[in-house]
Amino acid sequence: MAQRFILNEVSYFGAGARKELPEVLNRMGLKKALVCTDKGLLKVGTTKMVTDVLEAVGFPYEVYSEIKPNPTVTNVQQGVAAFKASGADCLIAVGGGSSMDTAKGIGIVSNNPEFSDVVSLEGVAPTKKKSVPIIALPTTAGTGAEVTINYVIIDEKRQAKMVCVDPNDIPAVAIVDPELMYSLPKSLTAATGMDALTHAIEGYITKGAWVMSDMYELQAIKMIAENLPLAVAEPTNPKGREGMALAQYIAAQAFSNVGLGLVHGMAHPMGSLHDVPHGVANALLLPTIMKFNMPTRIEKFGVIARTMGVDTTGMTPEEAAQAAVDAVQKLSIEVGIPQHLSELGITEKDIPALAEQALADVCTPGNPRDVTLDDIVALYKKVL
Ligand SMILES: NC(=O)c1ccc[n+]([C@@H]2O[C@H](COP(=O)([O-])OP(=O)(O)OC[C@H]3O[C@@H](n4cnc5c(N)ncnc54)[C@H](O)[C@@H]3O)[C@@H](O)[C@H]2O)c1
Ligand SMILES: [Fe+2]
């Protein structure tokens, strides 16, 4: 079977890249935008850094800001109504994965109204029309949703995260401006950065990985190991912010095309059932699930260790692989990620429901080692 690779039509990178927005809108012949963002970003003024660029050239826009972290079907449906009422012809997403994913849902449903229930979009949906044009400006260095063909929405009725995979949803343009990330608090910098590392590692060892995706994921792993501690310790140091902004995009370019694995499969129910921030859930699970996957990817784990700066000279392949797990755990502790489910209020009685959803998650089949329900229960217990 042929390999497929889907990326944005155009992408811009670097401090101040948001100033390209008027030129982008003009080139695409767009006339009015619905800006999709969340209340927190409005409050800290990050959204304003983008709307100021629109104001400066008199480009008309309205704002939809009801988006929750871990967004819901209701968020998408309200957004579709807001888009229709606004008379806009494009969506500008300013935010983390939650705002960008909601924009994707709004754009898809607006142009494919037969999916207005949103829940029928779960998995690989047979939409026929491209989303309304989306221009995505990430404000977290994590999800890379600005370049992925996925969006993640909670179905409130089932209390489950739906991963929707649809090439028609990819933002036409990504504008990755690290200046939009300086306002990100330390804990969110750490959590979203560990989400990006999880993308890079799962994308590197997933069943669908190949030479082109490996190239991106290894570069992302290297840049995250080099820059995440700095971005957390010195939030205003441009090196850390710029390195992480680019690294998370590079990781997402590849994982979007090859898939992820059990870490995401087990993290999603922690978001839908217990409202755990996505990056925290991934970071907490990553070392334990790496250890579980190690026998299937000994060589690649050695490469991960070396890419993260570990000198594996004189180690056996198994020792080098273990060094990768240790390096990830060390980084996670260094940036202050909780290490146990109990710290998040999750108890043993919650595990069966978490495990059921994890087994059914769209990301789980990409895991390099096949899993059973019992395996998943045992893995949650390990991190209790
Ligand atoms: N589409 C994809 O490919 C993909 C990949 C991974 C995760 N996700 C999904 O993305 C969501 C998580 O996104 P996220 O981790 O980027 O966080 P988020 O968008 O949920 O934002 C988390 C919090 O950070 C705040 N915030 C964001 N940027 C900020 C900034 N610059 N300054 C201050 N505060 C800021 C927001 O206001 C919010 O309160 C989850 O629903 C997850 O399942 C999607
Ligand atoms: Fe993720």
With a 6 A CB cut-off, is 72 part of the ligand 1 pocket? no
Boundary residue ending a domain (153, 181, 209): 181
Rounded Cα gap, residues 135 and 304, in angstroms:
33
8 Å CB contact between 376 and 363: no
Instruction: Looking at the structure, tell me whether residues 211 and 124 fall in a common domain.
Output: no
| Burial environment of residue 66 by CB neighbours within 10 A (0 to 12, 13 to 18, 19 or more) | middle
95-101 average pLDDT score? 98
Instruction: Looking at the structure, tell me whether residues 156 and 220 fall in a common domain.
Output: no
Nearest ligand by distance to the CA of 199: 2
Handedness of CA 231, 236, 240, 243 (dihedral sign): positive
Instruction: Looking at the structure, tell me whether residues 70 and 212 fall in a common domain.
Output: no
Boundary residue ending a domain (136, 164, 181): 181
Pocket test for ligand 1, best of 106, 143, 206 (most atoms within 8 A of CB): 143
**In the structure encoding, which two tokens stand for residue 313, read together?**
């000279």
Query: Looking at residue 40, which CATH number applies to its domain?
Result: 3.40.50.1970
How high is the mean pLDDT of the chain?
A: 97
Instruction: Looking at the structure, tell me whether residues 151 and 251 fall in a common domain.
Output: no
Instruction: Looking at the structure, tell me whether residues 62 and 207 fall in a common domain.
Output: no
Handedness of CA 12, 37, 266, 105 (dihedral sign): negative
Of 149, 134, 152, which is closest to residue 94 (Cα–Cα)?
A: 134
Check whether 245 has a pLDDT greater than 90. Answer: yes
Whether residue 343 is contained in a domain is answered as yes
Instruction: Looking at the structure, tell me whether residues 73 and 99 fall in a common domain.
Output: yes
pLDDT at 145: 98
Instruction: Looking at the structure, tell me whether residues 51 and 140 fall in a common domain.
Output: yes
Q: How many independent structural domains does the chain possess?
A: 2
Q: Which atom of ligand 1 is nearest to the CA of 161?
A: 43
Q: Where are the alpha helices (DSSP H) in 182-237?
A: 186-205, 211-233
Domain boundaries, position 129: 10-181
Check whether 1 has a pLDDT greater than 90. Answer: no
pLDDT at 284: 97
Q: Give residue-wise pLDDT tens across range 121-176.
A: 999 999 999 999 999 999 999 999 999 999 999 999 999 999 999 999 999 999 99
With a 6 A CB cut-off, is 203 part of the ligand 1 pocket? no
